[in-house]
């Protein structure tokens, strides 16, 4: 059995838990929108065509803010195509995913859906094929009270009151050669700066996100952030990060250590942003928006069943695209990625798991059929529910294992929060060990534990293995079950984590 000793202290905190850390992402890609959140005629659809079975799961997931409508899709998207009577909306070719976009679902529908879901909107604008005019016009349409062309058109289209969308992305992955309208850092930085200024002329209260690197392996990583922020520092509030992880060639050890890369990525962007701040003698800090992250198996994508940029079968409406089926191992990795985000919550203020339904998603649905939870649903939902109050700064002394990409890595990964208002401490654990359980001791400095309120674990189910998934026929095969043997007495917590598992323990505490 491996061992880990963790120390937390009531007086050593990182900052308040950002509620936007538990965001998700809806893109016009594959079946995320059509037959995902929106399917008129489905037995569970309401009068707006919104699937209520999916909405119920979205609410249980606890997503707080949803990024929309892309993603690569947005870089070729005319937002005006998705407003007004549906019968007048144009059908367009979407070059990003090689599909036909019907525009049956657009801005008004997403605003109405978000109200039902209880989620904030994070709207992305097209800085690929569009520019300053389109940027300021969509803000006027969405947020201006009335008395102008665009705001009056919104009222005519059924929404007299403004949408009051405050969070906006200035394009998407503009550093990527795959992006429609790809730009150099200087080209994008100047365009984003001018678009931001024009948008704020319409609504000064906006929060704006500049495009950072598409991943930490980009050849321009670091230099891109430096150049873009040199142009935009005074105009934006956040810089974005995107990262996807997968198991390569059976190297499960490196895959389980993916959060080491997330830590590196976050800390590198913070360092770059702060260097621009110092050089420019700026007073404010630029925070981070990790607005795309997840496990994504980007192999075999150029086939009819798993397309990437080209669908060889031709132009179609909402085909099945990257509908990854997530297993126990994936869920443990997602848990560690969430831990990394939470541990950096002093600077990562927004994060969006990509995507919400069907497309590399925690929720799967079938056309005219059911919706169910993937394995990765569970760590996200519990952390969104319980991670509140202050993020605790932890000291972790864990046994390690060696992997080819990251070297020696902690077997036990952990994050924790303290909610002074409710008197609860929540700890989120992952055991990366494939074979051995982990004996964990937690020293609770400044706290006395009164009782264990909750102890749950996601592990390999009986008769399964690390690749076990949830299916339409067995939607509850992998989930959270009671974690037995958790003991909290005074200032000490003891528990045993099964091999390859993710767990949550919630304690009722008083100040010691």
| Distance from C-alpha of 463 to C-alpha of 262, rounded to nearest angstrom | 33
H or E segment to which residue 416 belongs: strand 412-419
Average pLDDT, the chain: 96
* 3-class SS of residue 330: helix
Q: Could you give the CA distance from residue 413 to residue 415 in angstroms, rounded to a whole number?
A: 7
Identified catalytic residue from 173, 225, 247, 459: 173
Judgement on whether residues 349 and 409 belong to the same structural domain of the protein? no
Instruction: Say how far apart CA 324 and CA 11 lie, in whole Å.
Output: 42
* CA contacts within 13 A on the Cβ side of 368: 1
Residue whose C-alpha is closest to residue 408's, from 428, 438, 432: 432
Q: Are residues 381 and 395 in the same domain?
A: no
Helix or strand or coil: residue 196? Answer: helix
Token pair recorded at residue 366: 């079938």
The count of other CB atoms within 10 Å of the CB of residue 51 is 24
Reported as a pLDDT band with limits 50, 70 and 90, residue 314 is confident
Residue-level pLDDT at 313: 52
Query: Of 360, 386, 412, which residue is a domain's last?
Result: 386
The CATH number of whichever domain residue 114 belongs to comes to: 3.20.20.80
Same domain as 198, residue 333? yes
Same domain, 236 and 351: yes
The pLDDT of residue 511: 86
What pLDDT, on the 0 to 100 scale, is given for residue 301? 47
Comparing 58 with 307, the larger pLDDT belongs to 58
Residue 129 tokens, joined: 């094929």
Task: Tell whether 369 and 395 lie within a shared domain.
Answer: no
474 C-beta neighbours (distance < 10 Å), count: 12
Instruction: Give the domain range for residue 423.
Output: 2-9+390-511
Same domain, 158 and 264: yes
pLDDT at 298 (0 to 100): 86
Reply yes or no on whether the pLDDT at 304 is more than 60: no
Q: What percent of the chain has pLDDT over 70?
A: 97
Check which CATH number belongs to the domain holding 481 and give it.
Answer: 2.60.40.1180
Instruction: Please give the model's pTM, rounded to 2 decimal places.
Output: 0.96
Structure confidence at residue 11 as a pLDDT band (50, 70, 90): very high
Angle between helices 223-232 and 258-280 (to 10 degrees): 40
Cis-peptide, bond into residue 355, ω within 30° of zero: yes
Do both 360 and 434 map to the same domain?
no
The 8-class DSSP code of residue 469 comes to: B
Q: What is the pLDDT of residues 196-230, one digit of tens each?
A: 999 999 999 999 999 999 999 999 999 999 999 99
Give pLDDT, residue 302.
45
Tell me the pLDDT tens digit for each residue of 168-178.
Answer: 999 999 999 99
Contact 217, 256 (CB under 8 A): no
292 is catalytic: yes
Q: Does the N-terminal peptide bond of residue 139 adopt cis geometry, omega within 30 degrees of 0?
A: no
Q: Is the pLDDT of residue 337 over 70?
A: yes
Q: Of 348, 369, 386, which marks where a domain is finished?
A: 386
pLDDT in tens, 244-256: 999 998 999 999 9
In terms of domains, do 238 and 367 share one? yes
pLDDT at 142: 98
Within this chain, do residues 304 and 422 fall inside the same structural domain, yes or no? Answer: no
Of 339, 365, 386, the one marking the end of a domain is 386
Are 473 and 435 in a shared domain? Answer: yes
**Confidence (pLDDT) at 362:** 98
Q: How far is CA 135 from CA 11, 121, 139, 192, 249, in A?
A: 45, 16, 7, 10, 43
Give the distance from CA 299 to its chain's centroid: 21
Q: How confident is the model at residue 310 (pLDDT cuts 50, 70, 90)?
A: very low
203 plus 269 within the same structural domain: yes
Q: Find all residues with CB under 8 Å of 474, minimum gap 6, and list them.
A: none
The Cα 300–Cα 156 span in angstroms is: 46
- The answer on pLDDT for 503 being more than 50 is yes
Same domain (yes/no): 379, 394: no
Determine which one of 80, 101, 109, 292 is catalytic.
292
In the annotation, is 173 catalytic? Answer: yes
Per-residue pLDDT for 309 more than 60? no
Residue 339 is encoded by which pair of tokens? Answer: 């831990």
For the chain, what is the domain count? 2
């Amino acid at each position: 059995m491996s061992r880990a000793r963790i120390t937390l202290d009531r007086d050593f905190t990182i900052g308040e838990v950002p509620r936007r850390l538990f965001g998700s992402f809806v893109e016009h890609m594959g079946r995320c929108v059509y037959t995902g959140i929106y399917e008129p005629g489905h037995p569970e659809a309401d009068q707006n065509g919104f699937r209520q079975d999916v909405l119920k799961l979205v609410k249980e997931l606890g997503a707080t803010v949803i990024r929309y409508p892309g993603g690569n899709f947005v870089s070729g998207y005319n937002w005006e195509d998705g407003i007004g009577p549906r019968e007048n909306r144009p059908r367009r070719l979407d070059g990003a995913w090689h599909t036909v976009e019907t525009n049956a679902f657009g801005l008004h529908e997403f605003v109405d859906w978000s109200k039902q879901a209880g989620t904030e909107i994070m709207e992305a604008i097209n800085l690929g094929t569009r520019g300053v005019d389109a940027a300021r016009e969509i803000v006027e349409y969405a947020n201006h009270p009335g008395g102008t062309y665009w705001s009056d058109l919104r009222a005519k289209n059924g929404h007299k009151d403004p949408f009051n969308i405050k969070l906006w992305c200035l394009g998407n992955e503009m550093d990527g050669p795959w992006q429609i309208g790809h730009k150099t850092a200087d080209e994008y930085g100047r365009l984003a700066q001018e678009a931001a200024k024009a948008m704020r002329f319409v609504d000064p209260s906006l929060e704006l996100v500049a495009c950072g690197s598409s991943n930490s392996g980009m050849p321009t990583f670091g230099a891109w952030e430096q150049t873009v922020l040199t142009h935009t520092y005074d105009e934006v509030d956040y810089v974005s990060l995107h990262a996807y992880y997968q198991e390569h060639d059976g190297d499960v050890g490196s895959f389980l250590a993916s959060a080491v890369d997330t830590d590196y990525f976050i800390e590198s962007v913070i360092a770059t942003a702060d260097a621009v701040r110092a050089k420019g003698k700026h007073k404010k800090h630029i925070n981070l928006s990790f607005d795309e992250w997840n496990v994504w198996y980007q192999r075999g994508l150029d086939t009819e069943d798993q397309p990437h940029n080209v669908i060889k079968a031709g132009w179609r409406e909402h085909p099945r695209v990257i509908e990854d089926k997530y297993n126990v191992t994936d869920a443990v990795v997602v848990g560690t990625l969430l831990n990394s985000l939470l541990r950096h919550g002093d600077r990562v203020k927004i994060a969006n798991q990509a995507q919400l339904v069907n497309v590399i998603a925690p929720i799967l649905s079938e056309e005219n059929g059911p919706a169910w939870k993937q394995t990765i649903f569970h760590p996200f939902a519990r952390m969104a529910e319980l991670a509140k109050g202050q993020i605790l700064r932890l000291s972790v002394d864990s046994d390690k294992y060696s992997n080819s990409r990251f070297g020696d890595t902690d077997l036990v990964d952990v994050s924790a929060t303290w909610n002074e208002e409710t008197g609860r401490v929540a700890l989120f654990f992952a055991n990366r060990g494939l074979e051995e359980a982990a004996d964990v001791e937690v020293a609770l400095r400044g706290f006395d534990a009164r009782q264990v309120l909750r102890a749950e674990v996601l592990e390999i189910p009986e008769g399964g293995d690390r690749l076990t998934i949830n299916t339409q026929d067995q939607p509850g095969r992998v989930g959270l079950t009671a974690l037995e043997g958790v003991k909290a007495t005074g200032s000490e917590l003891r528990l045993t984590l099964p091999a390859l598992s993710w767990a949550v323990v919630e304690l009722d505490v008083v100040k010691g």
